[in-house]
């Protein structure tokens, strides 16, 4: 039986302005308050993430809620090792600046979610992946962004940690072989809020307008 | 000189409800009205995409507006060839169902944007990419999703085409060697709107709730 069609929403200019504000104030957060998030909020955010687009309707995103103190300590140790190795790629003033950056909130964030992609999902029948199998990974990335923006609508910040060894995180989380690591997410209330990217405030890089990023053919 | 800090926005429940509606009604659109989009709208959408998160503030997304009729025909031809090859992977009822799907709106969409990642960007100084260089690609994916959602706030649909040979699209778009293909985007007003994914309405796959996609460790 065909379901009754709901009326499609029409979004007005006020909503568009607020949506733009949401993106402007999103931020990749590394400075968290340690106070916990309200009961049920993370489930609500994950539920919204599950509305994301996925190749062939494969819904290949997999979330590990990392609650265990020992596992969190292992992730932090891996981050610190990777971060020291990354520092060695720089020299002089650039190295000093790198060393001064705070690149993760792993010790403070009350909620931590390791995100994977199932590269052999039980949905989708492989549609859309033949020439571009990486679209599975991209689907997990889209789910993370839904979660990120939804969190921000509640004043909650998210930090995406990629300075990690994927194989190490996979071992810490004890996931199946056919899951691949996408990102380690820290969530919590941010200690500060601003529209400028953290890496811009710290002098690492400056955000640029679109410029040569758009070309006509 | 430190810029004056603006007041961070507080999003209310009404905005959250509308944001959820935005995600629920987003859709991957393949059935487009051919009428053009309003002047300036695509520039506004790209400007919003440029607010997306990127690893190391590298902003590695690159957009090619494919306007040329001949180039569009070449992309369509590549899609049709890849789609025939994909069909051969299925047999029986599943093959018949695949053959009945409409998987792209390449002949109708008034705006078409090939999206790439610059894997050697002139921003970011490589930060965050040492152990996970794929985060550059993920940054372009995030920009696409910003554009997608922003389009929907204007009632405009987007279809992500991945049934293409990345090398062929790269050749058609004449981009530098260090750009890699991420997605070919069709934009336009949708001919229909619904909350169910197109692949669900056509019987290919059914969207599932989170279930075993969330695990505690």
Which residues in chain B have their CB less than 8 angstroms from residue A128's CB?
103, 162-163
Q: With an 8 Å Cβ cutoff, are A15 and B18 in contact?
A: yes
Q: Across-strand partners of A32?
A: A190
Alpha-carbon distances of A86 from A45, A47, A73, A79, rounded to whole Å: 32, 35, 20, 10
Q: With an 8 Å Cβ cutoff, are B85 and A154 in contact?
A: no
d(CA A213, CA A132): 23
CATH code for the domain in which residue A103 is found: 3.40.109.10
Q: With an 8 Å Cβ cutoff, are B129 and A48 in contact?
A: no
Q: What is the DSSP letter of A102?
A: -
Which residues in chain A have their CB less than 8 angstroms from residue B129's CB?
162
d(CA B143, CA B136): 11
Instruction: Tell me the pLDDT tens digit for each residue of B4-54.
Output: 557 999 999 999 999 999 999 999 999 999 999 999 999 999 999 999 999
Residues 6+ apart with CB under 8 A from A46: A63, A147, B210, B214
Asked if residue B151 is part of any domain, the answer here is: yes
Residues 6+ apart with CB under 8 A from A34: A108, A110, A188
pLDDT attached to residue A5 = 59
What percent of chain B is modeled with pLDDT above 70? 98
Q: What is the DSSP letter of A26?
A: -
Asked if residue A4 is part of any domain, the answer here is: no
Asked if residue A211 is part of any domain, the answer here is: no
Q: Are A130 and B85 in contact (CB under 8 A)?
A: yes
Interface test with A, best of B118, B141, B169, B193 (most A CBs within 10 A): B141
Specify the number of domains making up chain A. 1
Asked if residue A11 is part of any domain, the answer here is: no
Asked if residue A167 is part of any domain, the answer here is: yes
Q: Are B66 and B72 in contact (CB under 8 A)?
A: yes
Structure-token pair, residue B165? 């040979």
What percent of chain B is modeled with pLDDT above 90? 95
pLDDT attached to residue B203 = 93
Does the structure show a pLDDT above 80 at B1?
no
Average pLDDT over residues A35-47: 97
Which residues in chain B have their CB less than 8 angstroms from residue A98's CB?
127
Query: Pick from A88, A81, A61, A67: which is nearest to A167 by CA?
Result: A81
Minimal Cβ distance to B9: which of A21, A62, A131? A21
Q: With an 8 Å Cβ cutoff, are B209 and A68 in contact?
A: no
Asked if residue A138 is part of any domain, the answer here is: yes
Q: How many helices (H) and strands (E) does chain B have?
A: 7, 5
Does the structure show a pLDDT above 70 at A210?
yes
Does the structure show a pLDDT above 90 at A142?
yes
pLDDT attached to residue A212 = 82
pLDDT attached to residue A211 = 84
Interface test with A, best of B40, B69, B210, B211 (most A CBs within 10 A): B210
Q: With an 8 Å Cβ cutoff, are A153 and B125 in contact?
A: no
Asked if residue B16 is part of any domain, the answer here is: no
From the CB of residue A80, how many other CB atoms can be counted at a distance below 10 Å?
Answer: 13
* pTM to 2 decimal places: 0.96
Which residues in chain B have their CB less than 8 angstroms from residue A126's CB?
89
Angle, vertex CA A27, rays to CA A22 and CA A29, nearest 5: 135
Minimal Cβ distance to B132: which of A127, A148, A166? A166
* CA-based nearest distance B187→chain A, Å: 16
Q: With an 8 Å Cβ cutoff, are A155 and B10 in contact?
A: yes
Average pLDDT over residues A13-32: 97
Q: What is this model's ipTM? A: 0.96
Q: With an 8 Å Cβ cutoff, are B128 and A50 in contact?
A: no
Q: With an 8 Å Cβ cutoff, are B164 and A131 in contact?
A: yes
Q: Closest-CA residue in chain B for A52?
A: B23
A142 backbone dihedrals φ, ψ, rounded to 5°: -65, -40
- Domain hosting residue B80, numbered range: 29-204
Asked if residue B8 is part of any domain, the answer here is: no
pLDDT attached to residue A1 = 40
* CA-based nearest distance A217→chain B, Å: 5
């Amino acid at each position: 039986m065909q379901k009754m069609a709901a009326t499609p929403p029409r979004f007005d200019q006020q909503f568009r302005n607020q949506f733009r504000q949401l993106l402007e104030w999103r931020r990749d957060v590394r400075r968290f308050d340690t106070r916990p998030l309200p009961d049920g909020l993370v489930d609500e955010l994950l539920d919204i993430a599950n509305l994301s687009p996925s190749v062939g309707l494969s819904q290949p995103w997999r979330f590990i809620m990392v609650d265990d103190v020992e596992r969190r300590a292992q992730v932090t140790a891996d981050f610190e090792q990777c971060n020291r190795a990354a520092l060695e790629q720089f020299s002089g003033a650039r190295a000093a600046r790198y060393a001064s950056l705070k690149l993760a909130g792993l010790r403070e964030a009350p909620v931590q979610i390791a995100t994977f992609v199932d590269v052999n999902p039980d949905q989708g029948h492989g549609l859309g992946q033949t020439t571009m199998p990486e679209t599975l990974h991209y689907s997990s990335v889209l789910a993370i962004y839904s979660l990120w923006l939804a969190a921000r609508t509640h004043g909650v910040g998210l930090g995406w940690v990629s300075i990690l060894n994927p194989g190490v995180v996979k071992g810490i989380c004890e996931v199946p072989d056919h899951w691949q690591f996408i990102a380690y997410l820290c969530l919590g209330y941010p200690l500060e809020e601003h529209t400028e990217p953290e890496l811009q405030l710290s002098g690492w890089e400056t955000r640029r307008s679109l410029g040569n990023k758009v070309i006509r053919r």
